[in-house]
Amino acid sequence: MHPKHRFDGSGLSIERIAELSLRAESLDLSPQAWARIGAARALVERELAAGATLYGVNTGIGSQKDVGVSAAELAQFSNRMIISESTDFPGPAASERAVRATLLVLINNIAGGRTGVRPQLVRRLLELYAASRMPTVRLDASFGVADLTPLSQLSLALLGLSLDGGEPILPTRMDLAPKESVSLIDSNSFALGSGALALNAVERLLGAFDLAAATALEGLRGGVRAHAAPAAGGFRGAGQARARDNLHAALEGSALHRAGQARFLQDPLSFRAITQIHGAAYECWSWAKLQFETEINASIDNPLVDLETGGIFPSASMVSLLPTLSMDALRQALAKVALESMERALKLQSPPFSGLPVGLAEAGAPDGGILSINLNYIGSARMGTLLAAAAPVLLHYVGHTADGVEDVTSLLPLSVTQTEALIERAWEMVALEMTIGVWALARRGIAPSDLGPGPRRVYEALLPLLHIGEEGRRIFDMARIVAVVRDGKLVDALNGGSSRE
């Protein structure tokens, strides 16, 4: 039976991480990776035998960097480092999928052949990945210059231990050799793995915003000429082209393309600038994807082994600034997309723009419509938490730790956590815009056959969940709508049926 994936220290994509992290798999390394690992370990052992002083190998780490480890203590020092760095601080645990994603990044890092660990340790990591359950790892325990605590908590399983004192995941114990503890924990594998999952989710989310915007455009009876390629004024980047292609695919064959369908000579900018706004978010997503994949496929450790020169070098490779910077930028772009999504939803309820009764109520009704079921109030509250999560974190200084040795931080784990929080709220904004777009279409009495294929699927999926005309008689269940929208089938249909989760 062939392994589903062979690590080589390069070419590991966020899509591959998202796919593999869904379940336990039998994985392996390429022959070249195994050879590099063996050669790097031999180099470390030669240096130790020659009496070299190596950081984290035969010295302490951080503020204890100048304290040597005696020969009598060396055999147990690596185990002790993992246990001492595994402090269980109160807080929620990471999902099993996030822990598997971490293992993928960590194994890929070691496969590059620059950490100097034994092949036996790699086999142990592969065995852990194939286990039916994952170790308990606490969230919010790293400030982004090496995920020391979460990676130590994960590594307890390699020793036959567990954070909560429960049954060990692996049936046998293992002792770590010198250098292996520092190589297991001196990277940002946890934040990078979780970030890869978040970025994979963002791609689908952006597709959903494209579909929601197309539905709102149908609900407004807006113009489509502003979204033609010539209206961009030349090539404005691959992101805008992608957003435009998605919008065109969603609206192909729509009655909006017929003469005289557009209600305004110029739609409000929140409708007219859909591809510019969404395109900017796609550009930020592509940049963040590049930075994360570059870091995931680099060698991160301190010290690093270099087979070409035969040297062992002190390194600051764990200072992951670009992934944080790019993810901070992405959150702001996503927040702008969500803001304009809500603006379109509000315009659809305003008679001067929609030409329909206020709040999309039934004509002459004293109550009813969107206003009476509080969607705008709830949406505004949820938008508040979304915008709070969008704030950049890179410059939130958390330094001077380890007696001043670690005086730089990236806060990459926080950036990832904030992105995950924003994604949760953004799906609700997508569902809100789709809901109000469908409500407007129903009020206009637009035949589904006159809609583009994207909005038509949204209309058919959501209309049965709306109780138009029954407001005040039963409680409106927005949770069901969010679940249908987030399920992904609507977006997958727009993208030809391929799932990105």
CATH number at 101 reads 1.10.275.10
Number of domains in the chain: 2
The pLDDT, as a whole number, for residue 62 is 64
Burial of 46 (0-12, 13-18, 19+ CB in 10 A): exposed
- What's the rounded mean pLDDT across residues 231-254? 94
The pLDDT, as a whole number, for residue 181 is 92
> Tens digits of per-residue pLDDT, 210-225?
999 999 999 999 999 9
Residues 130 and 243 both lie in one domain: no
Segment among 10-14, 27-31, 72-76, 493-497 with least mean pLDDT: 493-497
- What's the rounded mean pLDDT across residues 97-123? 97
The pLDDT, as a whole number, for residue 497 is 45
- Quickly state the pLDDT bin for 149 (edges 50, 70, 90): very high
pLDDT greater than 50 at residue 242? yes
CA distance 299 to 240: 34
pLDDT greater than 90 at residue 414? yes
CA distance 128 to 27: 11
pLDDT greater than 80 at residue 162? yes
Would 1 be classed as within a structural domain?
A: no
Residues 181 and 247 both lie in one domain: no
Q: In this structure, what are the phi and psi dihedrals at residue 63, rounded to the nearest 5 degrees? A: -65, -15
Residues 171 and 302 both lie in one domain: no
CA distance 456 to 446: 10
> Tens digits of per-residue pLDDT, 449-478?
999 999 999 999 999 999 888 887 888 899
Residues 339 and 294 both lie in one domain: yes
The pLDDT, as a whole number, for residue 73 is 77
Last residue of a domain, one of 187, 207, 225: 187
Would 167 be classed as within a structural domain?
A: yes
> Tens digits of per-residue pLDDT, 174-192?
999 999 999 999 999 999 9
Provide the b/e sequence for 395-409 (b: ≥16 CB within 10 Å): eeebeeeeeeebebb
Domain, as residue range, for 124: 6-187
Would 339 be classed as within a structural domain?
A: yes
CB atoms within 10 A of CB 277: 20
Would 500 be classed as within a structural domain?
A: no
Residues 93 and 201 both lie in one domain: no
Residues 172 and 210 both lie in one domain: no
Residues 383 and 486 both lie in one domain: yes
- What's the rounded mean pLDDT across residues 153-173? 92
Would 319 be classed as within a structural domain?
A: yes
CA-to-CA dists, residue 176 to 76, 78, 108, 218, angstroms: 8, 6, 19, 62
Last residue of a domain, one of 187, 209, 232: 187
> Tens digits of per-residue pLDDT, 341-386?
999 999 999 999 999 999 998 887 777 788 778 888 999 999 999 9
Check which CATH number belongs to the domain holding 475 and give it: 1.20.200.10
The pLDDT, as a whole number, for residue 498 is 43
Residues 177 and 224 both lie in one domain: no
> Tens digits of per-residue pLDDT, 48-102?
888 887 777 777 666 676 566 666 677 788 889 999 999 999 999 999 999 999 9
The pLDDT, as a whole number, for residue 499 is 42
Residues 326 and 440 both lie in one domain: yes
Would 499 be classed as within a structural domain?
A: no
Would 395 be classed as within a structural domain?
A: yes
Residues 113 and 153 both lie in one domain: yes
Residues 145 and 251 both lie in one domain: no
Would 139 be classed as within a structural domain?
A: yes
Residues 227 and 285 both lie in one domain: yes
- What's the rounded mean pLDDT across residues 259-286? 96
Last residue of a domain, one of 187, 220, 251: 187
